[in-house]
Structure 1
Amino acid sequence: MMTKSLETAENAFENGELEVALHSAKNYLKQSPECGYGWELLGLIQGTRGRFAIAVSALERASLFVPLRPLARVCLGYGYGKIGRTELSRDLLCDLIDNSQMTIDMLLQIASALDAIDQPGDAMRACRVATERDPLNAQSYYDMGHYAARCGYPIHLIEGLARKAISLDPENVCYRIGVAGMLIKQDRHDEAYGFVSELSLEQIQEITCECCLRKVVKLYETQHDYRRVVLCQQRLLDLELSK
């Protein structure tokens, strides 16, 4: 059971106040070095900060005292991959895929972690489970399409998954640009333009990938959509100035 001070550290972590959470967790553990939940929280904080070796060490220590909660187990599996313990990472992450405690977000995190250790087939399986648990989650289909491409699946299957994602979340700019880019590579420029022909100024402002913007600029130029050419070029300039 958590004490008030540990709850304070966890609340700071959940609110994204990582340095506050880190300081509070460390201070707590000085007084209660055998508190599994304290070490678990420290591991989650350090994992979020990108300090993966420390995160793994803290989570392993936590597991000596308490069963790790679902998010901590995902973090541990991801951390193993980041520090080069790829077989252990894959074993842990694959075991979690069929765990009913995994949320959709956790399953997508598992998929990303598996892909990071060059296991796109397993990443696809995690996404497939996510779609089975929530058939209306667009991100699951889109991510599955990305991993399918990494596995070398036929383009029609990859395209179908991306189109499914767009049908579920038609306002998602990332999905639309991703499909457009795929179609451009197949010289299907008219179809590609159809996915981005109605992007608003606000939607173009959401784009943060300079490479994606340049592809869209060329597409708009071929379609004589000069208004959006200017909007995308302005966005590129904004991104350059923000560096």
Structure 2
Amino acid sequence: MGARLSGTEVVALGGHVGLEAVGKDLLLGALPPVMHMRASTTEAPAACWLLNQAFHEMREDRSGASFVADHLARLLFVQVLRTYLAEAHTSPAGLLRALADAQIAPALRLMQGDPSHPWTLADLARAAAMSRTSFADRFKTLAGVPPVTYVHNWRMRMARHSLWRDDTPVAALASSLGYASESAFSNAFKRTTGMAPRQYRHAIRASGVWGRSGDHSGPVL
């Protein structure tokens, strides 16, 4: 991160955004390696204020400076994402480009908000106020995958997250994600990850990832 204070004086601030190990690829895969915020963007004034506040907190080393700077960095990341979403129409197909589309976003929110629902193409097209054919074509163009594939991938992502973070029984997890039986869920999960749910839970916890508050890899701001 960088901030120009006056004249030719430039102050560079370095940092990272912590992401959970399970699912971080969902965001990182949708973002470019470097994001540039132009001064003309709507979010630029707020971003400049956040940068200057972070600079002053770190320079003066006041009580609670690290806590304040951490939250300022999170808010700055939101402003950068907003800038990116505003220009997402020029980006490669992916989650953020689909979320930035006024027609596709309502359908995405439905799928993500209630993954256990047996969503049909007709349901999702209705939410987007489009015909099924037009919706399916536009969704694949923007998200990179067909709607049915996206629903499946989202359920598997939710399953991986739950198996990593909590001790929900596999049968209960299967039901919460809309599968008629534990075996149906287990078969779908194994086809996707190469491991049965219980095997995956054991493997990810044994790997040392279990119990961390987040992973320190993230995009460059």
Tell me which interval the TM-score lies in, with the shorter structure as reference length.
0.3 to 0.5
Structure of greater relative contact order (alpha carbons < 8 Å, 6+ residues apart): 2
TM-score by length of 2: 0.32
Structure with the bigger percentage of helix: 1
More strand by share: 2
The TM-score with structure 1 as length reference comes to 0.30
